[in-house]
Amino acid sequence: MSLSPAELQAISVAARWYARLHSGIATDADRRAWNDWLVADPVHRQAWQRMAAVAEQMTSVPGALAAPALRGAERSRRQLLRSVVVLVPATSLGWLGWRSDTAQQQFADYRTAVGERRAFRLADGSSLLLNTDTSVNLKYDGQQRVLELLRGEILVTTAVDPAQRPFTVHTRHGQVRALGTRFIVRAQALGGEVAVLEKAVEVRATSGALAVRVEAGQSIAFSDRSVGALRRNDASVGAWQQGSIIALDRPLAELLADLSRYRSGVLRCDPRIAQLKVSGAFPIDDTDRALAALESGFALRVTRFSRFWVNVSPPDSPLAL
């Protein structure tokens, strides 16, 4: 894949920013300037994704290979990152699978990669389970306990706080206040969703609309302007904890969109079968097995153009993107 001069220039700048931010001497002004550069152009964000992915690959290099580079203390981080940039245009990194991160998400307190789930115990004894591709910041002080959900999905089990500080989850679209409870919050581009498993929460849109109480067994969606209608949880709520997506007469396009959260790349649904109703339990830790189950159980055609580009179509569909 050839890169344009603008892309090559952006990668070079991304390398310099990466070296600066990981030098140990970066200032708040540096981080603000980096964020301004990052959001100024989609090419900058793609370059930063490439740089971050190359850096992750470097951390997984076997010790026998990595040690000589680490021992070369006279080579600055800037020099090392410049050498990495040379590798980027010549290697296939599966960049279609990387999802754009904002500046905040890059430096979030808790993060998971695509397809990863991780559990954490917080300082107050509360527990936090992160679903795939999730970023969370923690803001505890003497007056409040706040989780800032930047993207993705979390399961929270709150602990009793002797200081009686309120526990809230903030998203860009609203706030969820725990009332001694166990609940799931999902942040999406256009809004959020809450599902309560135990006790209750209060949900409020960022516009300041009246808070809505959500009881155990109920779910609700919200945007930055309003909170939707209450609905009952079904068997699919929280199934990701056990490694599954449970579909109950769900349109195929919706199921594949959900499944795509757990794998890198493009998972495309042919519009002709988008509304096909599907039921079953599909593993999220092995999405290829889930696709194989769809292929055999619903007479579909799954075409893999590469690991990062998969198309689901009717069985008689021609081989075309």
- Model confidence pLDDT, tens digit, residues 67-89: 333 333 334 444 434 444 444 44
Please provide residue 275's backbone torsions phi and psi, each rounded to the nearest 5 degrees: -95, 5
Q: What is the pLDDT of residue 25?
A: 66
Q: Give the residue carrying structure tokens 């200032």.
A: 27
- CA dihedral sign, ordered 195, 124, 138, 152: negative
Q: Which portions of the chain are predicted below pLDDT 70?
A: 1-3, 19, 22-25, 52-106, 317-321
Domains of the chain are 5-93 (no CATH), 106-232 (2.60.120.1440), 240-313 (3.55.50.30)
Closest to 52 in 3D by CA, of 68, 34, 33, 28: 34
What is the residue-wise DSSP string for 102-143? -HHHHT-SEE--TT--EEEE-TTS-EEEE-SS-EEEEEE-SS
| The model's pTM | 0.67
Q: What is the pLDDT of residue 134?
A: 95
Strand, coil or helix: 149: strand
Between CA 264 and CA 271, with CA 265 as vertex, the angle to 5 degrees is 125
Query: How many residues comprise the chain?
Result: 321
Tokens standing for 104? 């905040």
Q: What is the pLDDT of residue 92?
A: 35
Predicted confidence (pLDDT) per residue in 170-222, tens digit:
999 999 999 989 999 999 988 999 999 999 999 999 987 789 999 999 999 99
Amino acid at 146: V
Q: What is the pLDDT of residue 64?
A: 36
Distance CA 172, CA 179 (A): 21
On the CB side of 138, CA atoms within 13 Å amount to 14
Please provide residue 179's backbone torsions phi and psi, each rounded to the nearest 5 degrees: -115, 55
